[in-house]
Structure 1
Amino acid sequence: MTKADSKPEPARLDPLKPDPVKAGPKLEPLGVDARREAIVAAVRQRGFATIEALATTFGVTVQTIRRDLNELSGEGRLERYRGGGGLPSSVENADYASRRTQLSAEKCRIGERAAARIPDHCSVFVDIGTTPEAVANALVAHTGLSVVTNNLNVALTLSRETEFRVVVAGGTVRSGDGAVLGQQTCDTLAQFRVDYAVIGISGIDTDGTLLDFDFEEVRATQTILAHAKAVYLVADHTKFARRPMVKVGSLAQVHTFFTDREPPPELARLMREAGVVCEVA
C-alpha cells in the first residue's frame, strides 16, 4: 500500500450514495492529458471519485488511474485519498518546499515570458509565491530596475545577483517561505506607485475571481494591485482547478496573464471580454 493509498476518504462523503462516475457511460479512449482533465472535471462535479469507477469510465486499468491521481495530486489539482481522489483543500496550501519543486520547469518558462515583457529602467512590485520568484530569477538579466517586494527570497536573489535598487517592505516574516506580512507591510507597499506588479495566486474561480489561502497575504497582494500601473498575473495551469477561500480580486484587474497552458473556455471568454491578454509559455 502506498503512502497516498493510506490516506482515509474525506468524512464528508456518504458511501451509500451512488457515485455518478459509475453511472455514466463508458467514454472513448482518451490521451493521457485529456483523460486527466476529464478526471479533474469528474471529481469537481462529485467531490470524490473512486479508482474503480474512474477505471471503468475511462476504460483503463486501476494502476493507470492510480498513476493519474498521483500525478494530479503532485500538481495540486486533486487530493489523493485511499481508494480515490477528491477536491484539494480550500483552507490550506501545500508547504513551500513542495510548491518550489512542483512544475518547476513550467514556472521557469512563465517567469521568463513575464520578465521579457518588463523593460529595463522601470519600477516593479514582486509578490509572494514560487511563480513570482521565477519571474525575479529571470529579471537578473535586466538593468536599472527598482524592485519593491515583501518576499525575502526575491530580495536576496536580486540583491545578490544584480545592482538593482531593492526595497523590502517591513512587517513580520512568515517562517518557511520568507513572506513579509502584516499592517506595516501594507503601509510600506502603499507608499509606492510602480510601473509593473507581478502577482501570484493559488486559484482562479470560473467567474474570474482570484483566490488565495491566507488573509494577511491577500491584504498585501490587494495593496500591490491598487498601486501598480500594469498588473502581470503569473500562475500555472493547476490554479484553474483550485478554489481557496479568500478573495484577492478579479481577472478584470489584470493586464496580462502568464500561464503554461490554455485556460478553460469560460476563463478565456472572461479574459477576452475584460481585455486581459493571455500569454502561454
Structure 2
Amino acid sequence: MAVRESEARRSEIVRLARSSGLASVDDLSAQFGVTASTIRRDLSQLTSQGLIARTYGGAIALDPQQESSLRQRALEGFDAKRAIAEWSASQVRPGETILLDAGTTVGAMGEFLRDIEDITVIAAGLTALESLADADSVRVECIGGTLRHLSQGFVGPLAEATLQRVTFDRAFLGADAVTADLGICEAELEQTRLKEIMIARADEVYVLAHAAKLGQRPFHAWAPIPPGTTIVTDDSADIGETASFEAAGMRVVRV
C-alpha cells in the first residue's frame, strides 16, 4: 500500500509541475501531508527518471512537447490506468483473439487476462509481452519489427506485414493523446500508420487514454479513429471533452 501511495504522490507531483510550472518543496509537503525529506526523495527519483528538472527549493517539469519514455509514463495516472486496464480486460471473452498495443495502460491489462480461457493475445510491444510472459494459459504472438526504445513498441514494415496477415476480435490501442476530430496522436508517423492497420483489422476498437490525454495535441502525427470506437478513460475526465467524442459517434466509458 505504501508503495502505491508513493507512486500516486509522485505522479501527482509531475502533473502539478507541468500545470503550474513550479512547485516548492514546502508546498508539496503541506499538500501531501508528508515530510520535506520525503518530498526531496520523490523529487530526486523523478529527476533521475527524467520526469522533472530540479530547481532550488522545488521542481519544474520538462518540456511537455518532448516525448517521454515508457518508464517515465509508468508513474503518470497510475490508479486511473489500472482501472482502465481492468475494465478493458473485462470485455474480452473466452476464445477471442485480441491485439494489445504498446504502452503502459494497455500493458497493464495483462494481469487481468490470465484467467480468461482460450484467448490469443497478439502483442505489439514489450509491456504486453512482459505482463503475459509467464501466463501459460494465454497464447501469445508477437508482431515483431523494429523496436522503438522510448515506447517499447514494435513498428516498421515487418510489423505492418504481420498485422496484414491477422484479424482481431478486439484491438486495445494506446495513445500519446486523442481528440474527437483528429484521432490518435503519436510522436512519429510510423506509429500512426501501424494504428491505422490495427483499426482496420479489428472488429471492435478500444482506445485507452486517461483523462489528461483527452483533447491534447502534443505532436503532429495522427491516426483517424472511426465512429463506433470505444474511448476508455477515467472518471476525472471533463464532461465537455467526452461529449465531443460522443458527438462524433464514439462510445465513451468512464471508469
Structure 2 residue runs without a partner (length 5+): 1-11, 32-38
The alpha-carbon deviation at position 102 of structure 1 amounts to: 2.3
Greater Cα radius of gyration, structure 1 or 2: 1
Measured in 1, the distance between the counterparts of 2:78 and 2:250 equals 25
Structure 1 262/274 Cα, relative in aligned 2: closer, same or farther at 3 Å?
farther
The alpha-carbon deviation at position 128 of structure 1 amounts to: 0.8
Secondary structure at 2:134 match in 1:
helix
The answer for the alignment partner of 2:4 in structure 1 is: none
User: Percent of pairs identical after alignment?
Assistant: 21
1:73-130 superposed Cα distances (whole Å, 9 cap, x missing partner): x8xxx9889799789533x321221212222222111100011111111110110110
For 1:74-93, list aligned pairs within 5 A: 89-90=64-65, 92-93=66-67
2:94 to 98, 107, 120: 120
Q: For the Cα contact (< 8 Å) 2:123–2:129, is it kept in 1?
A: yes
**What TM-score do you get using the length of structure 2 for normalisation?**
0.72
The answer for the alignment partner of 2:158 in structure 1 is: 184
What is the number of residues matched between the two proteins? 224
1:188-247 superposed Cα distances (whole Å, 9 cap, x missing partner): 111112110000101124645321113222222221111101101111112126422233
Structure 1 stretch displaced more, 251-260 or 219-228: 251-260
For 1:41-120, list aligned pairs within 5 A: 64=27, 89-90=64-65, 92-120=66-94
Residue 183 of structure 2 corresponds to residue 198 of structure 1: no
Measured in 2, the distance between the counterparts of 1:205 and 1:80 equals 29
Amino acid at match of 1:111: A
Structure 1 271/205 Cα, relative in aligned 2: closer, same or farther at 3 Å?
closer
The alpha-carbon deviation at position 50 of structure 1 amounts to: 7.1
1:217 to 191, 202, 209: 191
Structure 1 stretch displaced more, 125-134 or 233-242: 233-242
Residue 195 of structure 2 corresponds to residue 231 of structure 1: no
Structure 1 residue runs without a partner (length 5+): 1-32, 44-48, 56-60
Measured in 1, the distance between the counterparts of 2:245 and 2:82 equals 23
Measured in 1, the distance between the counterparts of 2:188 and 2:63 equals 16
Residue 99 of structure 2 corresponds to residue 129 of structure 1: no
Measured in 2, the distance between the counterparts of 1:158 and 1:65 equals 37
Amino acid at match of 2:167: R
The answer for the alignment partner of 2:248 in structure 1 is: 274
Measured in 1, the distance between the counterparts of 2:30 and 2:231 equals 30
1:261 to 224, 235, 241: 235
1:223-275 superposed Cα distances (whole Å, 9 cap, x missing partner): 11111011011111121264222333345455211111353344322222233
Q: For the Cα contact (< 8 Å) 1:199–1:234, is it kept in 2?
A: yes
Measured in 2, the distance between the counterparts of 1:208 and 1:135 equals 26
State the superposition RMSD in angstroms.
Answer: 3.5
Measured in 2, the distance between the counterparts of 1:116 and 1:278 equals 16
The alpha-carbon deviation at position 147 of structure 1 amounts to: 1.5
Structure 1 268/79 Cα, relative in aligned 2: closer, same or farther at 3 Å?
farther
Amino acid at match of 1:89: P
Q: For the Cα contact (< 8 Å) 1:208–1:270, is it kept in 2?
A: no
The answer for the alignment partner of 1:4 in structure 2 is: none
Write out the 4+ residue segments of structure 1 that deviate beyond 6 Å after TM superposition. 65-68, 78-87
Measured in 2, the distance between the counterparts of 1:106 and 1:267 equals 17
**What TM-score do you get using the length of structure 1 for normalisation?**
0.66
Measured in 2, the distance between the counterparts of 1:176 and 1:140 equals 27
Structure 1 216/67 Cα, relative in aligned 2: closer, same or farther at 3 Å?
farther
Structure 1 179/265 Cα, relative in aligned 2: closer, same or farther at 3 Å?
same
